[in-house]
Structure 1
């Protein structure tokens, strides 16, 4: 029997023990409830909180900025709190208005997608690719704008008593859009491909505890994942953006065989221009009106050649969603009658890359000197226009449950010079900084150049259009880089793919034995209070010693036509359109 009675009993004991930490102040109610949802015990956790007369801390909604007022106040008043404080703003989907939803219509979006041709979902490299797939395919679980796990093709998940097995119950009555019924065979097929050495998917770094044959079919609607070690975040890993569930008869090219169980099918694809979807009539998920989702008849991701073009389309009502930045705010203000600005805190960031496998940043003193020279508040003020909160050179933002609170450090140019001298560079050094030349990368590179100069780092900027074709390959000495990271579903996912020694996307080529040991312990730790302490230690190590410079977690912005309803931005850039609708 899967799960066993022992598994269920041990899970209940763990949940009750964690609730004692809530009562003793070691965990917040929100941390407890989210952790319990990962354990598949959300109902029990909610009952425990309710029994004490409590309710979860409310989840903040995105800041809806009435753009006619933006120019009347300093920019710092637009955010939830002053930028020098920790801000936790996670968007939630607005409630359905009185009168219900309106079905039909076509929504056009120029937001968080790509029209680039790709073949295999297992090999995609951005969340923008994943958002194209999300409209056609489902994952086993969903992660909402509040960062909580929700059932999708998996309806239940239960860890074994030792944490080495996870039993997943699958949804019945679901069909792929080419007619095949969804069963456990499709789950086994999908994950065997993801974990295969031949496929070479980056999913292997996230799920480095699974072998290709780790997924066992119990019956048509039950599978068991057999882990080599206990994995506390396992259900979140099922949402890794490579892990779209494909049918066992998939032929190997997404655009030739766009087969999934999702709410839309691809109607037209023009590489570099647009992707048009149409609704399925037999999708398994239901809307608030009791009928199958999606509400829209059509969805289109459409590219525009320049800012003037998309602003014109937005003003005419031909475009409904488009990302923008502070420099575009004056133009959004002029469209106030038809457009609203949505601004929310994320864990996304631009970062500096200090390669630790060659000079000079293979010396910890040089890395520390560079970090001490950085003027973080200037970056937040000038580059982000105060739409961000300070970070201390580590990727785990306050939006994560169990996130650490680091003391940070003051800019200290004299100490930076001293460390450089001790490292053998009393007269400073010359560096080349290569980067992909768009606005965000350029801003952080210019900031690093200016901040570091006072300590003796003489940086030459070297824009490189092919940066992301060479970012993981060997570089010459005295070369550094810059990157742009989207928030991951969990700290563990971030750490394993980009900070663990030999992680697939460890662009810093950084290796720290103590960090790796703590990461392995944390990944296996099912006690949330202990994990919280381990995260604190790991983040401090990355902040002090790592090859990454993260000055701030930014706030993102989207311009939305006022007709658009049910849309909430995702902190991890996982955008679903099934429940979005257009108000007439």
Structure 2
């Protein structure tokens, strides 16, 4: 398709220098189409506008999603892990709680499976010149289930509630050092400004569905979410029985297209195997999330459609940098060199994952630097590092971990591989609540263990992985890794508004972490949602959310 110079020039005249630089990168080939759409959406450019730019450059228009051709009025039955604590926007952080919040609540914007941000309760957003202030325009005419219209006061109250240290919300791992109470400000009823502590080029992702706690609630919300389930979403609560089930019905006053299902029913399961049996027995139509290692029977079943979404989800292994035997980075690198990452992807994950390189910059991120050398298994080099660190005779250490998904098998593989360099690795696995404890230093087997493994869910940008687990002041820095040089690099990455600048800093961070190796990122696994043949329009996210308003049965 030929380039339309006059159309492109006309579109460029509407753009800021930052936005025009992105177009330059796309035209010159430094930024591919996927990266262009994703970063353009981050800067607040609409999909129709981005589509016109791709058309003008001669690369074809951006595609748009259409509703599935299904019958209205179906009852959709979902198997889901049970919420481990009371469902609450401040404190929910497990798979079941995340799915429940999203059934009734909505976000300012949605992070799609392609990492392209889509408007939801906000219709547009823009940064100032240095990314310290982001302005969001709100959708008009949105009603809460309780009847009031969603306006700027509700957005301000929602984020003040999330960032207030007194509330100790799960979202503090996202917003600490970025957004303070009082920094979300009303401009008028339909415009809100976020005044950030520091520049942040990825901020819209931090108020999107990526931050599962950030559903917009009425300003009058006083807690006890399970009493009212008040949100703006396409479904309203019908019945909720903790540890057993939940059901939802359409919201007749929904601002968007009316939901297609007449009813959705979630059955809670304590483990994946009974959920698989219920699916095979016809008791449910959908499993929210399927581990590849234990779901082989469904992955190979021609009666089942598998929705597979590439993600940055991972099982993070930490090594305490402030305690023996891992004080010396050479020992940590030796452990990292024991992992056979290709075997992890092919064997453990049945091909539904990609190799990790011991940094949170997964290949799914456009800002990841593809020129960083990939770490591979090298037992000979690992032994040399152990000898140089004075550990040639090996040592004994306990790896504690979460009993979840394929983690038990993953840590057993690490146990076997590290034997080759003289490490006697003992395993201590426990349920999520026991392992995480209070999620505070001194009160958590996870944060206090010398070596451990915990599941980290997907995010559309790596910011939360950096701020939450790797920076010196991180809330959940299980490795107790404290390095000023790393902190400076991370802050530079956050401040970069331009994709190419982000990629340059990401390369420096990745190389730095290969040298220090406080954490092992062995692989990043796909999110898998099995759906019964004939059920269409199901839209899962790698964050364990499940959008069902456009779903039905053919």
| Superposed pair shares fold, TM > 0.5 | yes
2:548 match: 577
1:424 aligns with 2:429: no
* Among candidates 6, 17, 20, match of residue 16 of structure 1: 20
Return the offset for 1:330. 6.1
CA drift of 1:57 comes to: 8.2
Q: Structure 1 residue 307: deviation in Å?
A: 5.9
Q: 1:48 to 1:429 in 2, by over 3 A?
A: same
Equivalent residue runs for 1:324-473 within 5 Å: 324-326=290-292, 331-332=297-298, 336-337=302-303, 339-405=304-370, 406-438=372-404, 440-465=406-431, 466-469=434-437, 473=441
Offset of 1:498 from its aligned partner?
Answer: 1.8
2:219 aligned residue: 248
Q: 1:282 aligns with which of 250, 253, 262?
A: 253
Structure 1: runs of 5+ lacking an equivalent: 1-7, 59-91, 287-291
Q: Residue 163 of structure 2 contacts residue 180 of structure 2 at CA under 8 Å; is this kept in 1?
A: yes
Deviations 1:361-382 (A, max 9, x none): 1221111111122222332333
Query: What are the Cα deviations for residues 31-66 of structure 1, in whole angstroms up to 9, with x where unaligned?
Result: 1222121111235443333222113788xxxxxxxx
1:122 paired residue number: 90
Report what 2:181 is aligned to. Answer: 212
- State whether structure 2 residue 516 is matched by structure 1 residue 511: no
Q: Distance in 1 between matches of 2:297 and 2:95?
A: 27
How far 1:195 moved relative to its partner? 1.3
Give 2:3's aligned residue: none
2:293 and 2:375 map into 1 onto residues whose CA distance is: 30
Q: Which residue of 1 aligns with 2:7?
A: none
| Alignment counterpart, residue 101 of structure 1, candidates 55, 60, 70 | 70
Q: Distance in 2 between matches of 1:419 and 1:304?
A: 45
User: What CA distance in whole angstroms lies between the structure 2 residues aligned with 1:316 and 1:450?
Assistant: 37
How far, CA to CA, are the matches of 2:367 and 2:271 in structure 1? 41
* In 2, Cα distance between equivalents of 1:365 and 1:120: 43
Kindly provide the CA deviation profile for residues 71-99 of structure 1, in whole angstroms up to 9, marking residues without a partner as x: xxxxxxxxxxxxxxxxxxxxx96x545xx
* Cα distance in 2, alignment partners of residues 393 and 334 from structure 1: 31
Change (3 A) 1:497 1:540: same
Equivalent pair of 1:367/1:547 in contact (CA under 8 Å): yes
Within the alignment, does 1:551 sit opposite 2:522 as a pair? yes
- What residue in structure 1 maps to residue 58 of structure 2? 53
Aligned to 2:233: 262
**Cα distance, 1:130–1:341 mapped onto 2, change above 3 Å:** closer
Q: The residue matched to 2:510 in structure 1 has which SS?
A: helix
- C-alpha deviations, 1:314-354, integer Å up to 9, x for none? 244330112444565564389644x3334443322223221
> TM-score when scaled to structure 1?
0.85
Q: Distance in 2 between matches of 1:461 and 1:484?
A: 16
1:146 equivalenced with 2:114 (yes/no): yes
On the 8 A contact 1:393/1:551 being kept in 2, the answer is: yes
The partner residue of 1:235 within 204, 222, 225 is 204
Measured after TM superposition, the shift of residue 30 of structure 1 is 2.2
Q: Which residue of 2 aligns with 1:492?
A: 463
Write the distance in 1 (CA, Å) between the matches of 2:540 and 2:512. Answer: 31
CA distance in 2, matches of 1:508, 1:152: 37
In angstroms, what is the RMSD of aligned CA positions?
Answer: 2.6
SS of the residue 2:166 aligns to:
coil
Match of 2:512 in 1: 541
Q: Which residue of 2 aligns with 1:223?
A: 192
Instruction: State the alpha-carbon separation in 2 of the partners of residues 318 and 197 from structure 1.
Output: 43
The alignment status of 1:41 with 2:39, answered yes or no, reads no
Structure 2 residue aligned with 1:88: none
Equivalent pair of 2:39/2:116 in contact (CA under 8 Å): no
| Partner of residue 67, structure 1 | none
Deviation at 1:398, TM superposition (A): 1.5
Change (3 A) 1:375 1:330: closer
Instruction: Determine the structure 1 residue equivalent to 2:454.
Output: 483
The answer (yes or no) to whether the contact 2:358–2:522 under 8 Å persists in 1 is yes
CA gap of 1:557–1:494, structure 2 versus 1, over 3 A, is same
* Counterpart secondary structure, 2:359: coil
**Is contact 2:153–2:189 with CA below 8 Å preserved after alignment?**
yes
1:164 aligns with one of 132, 135, 138: 132
With normalisation by structure 2, the TM-score equals 0.89
Alpha-carbon deviation of 1:191? 0.8
Equivalent pair of 1:116/1:271 in contact (CA under 8 Å): no
Displacement of 1:551 in angstroms is 1.6
State the aligned residue count.
532
Equivalent residue in structure 2 for 1:562, among 516, 533, 543: 533
Alignment partners' CA distance in 1, 2:428 and 2:277: 33
Output the CA distance in 1 between the equivalents of 2:124 and 2:32.
24
Q: Tell me the SS of whatever aligns to 2:436.
A: helix
Matches of 2:359 and 2:456 in 1, distance apart? Answer: 12
Distance 1:435 1:163, change over 3 A: closer
* Structure 1 Cα separation of the partners of residues 148 and 181 of structure 2: 24
Name the CA distance, whole Å, in 2 between partners of 1:32 and 1:528.
Answer: 9
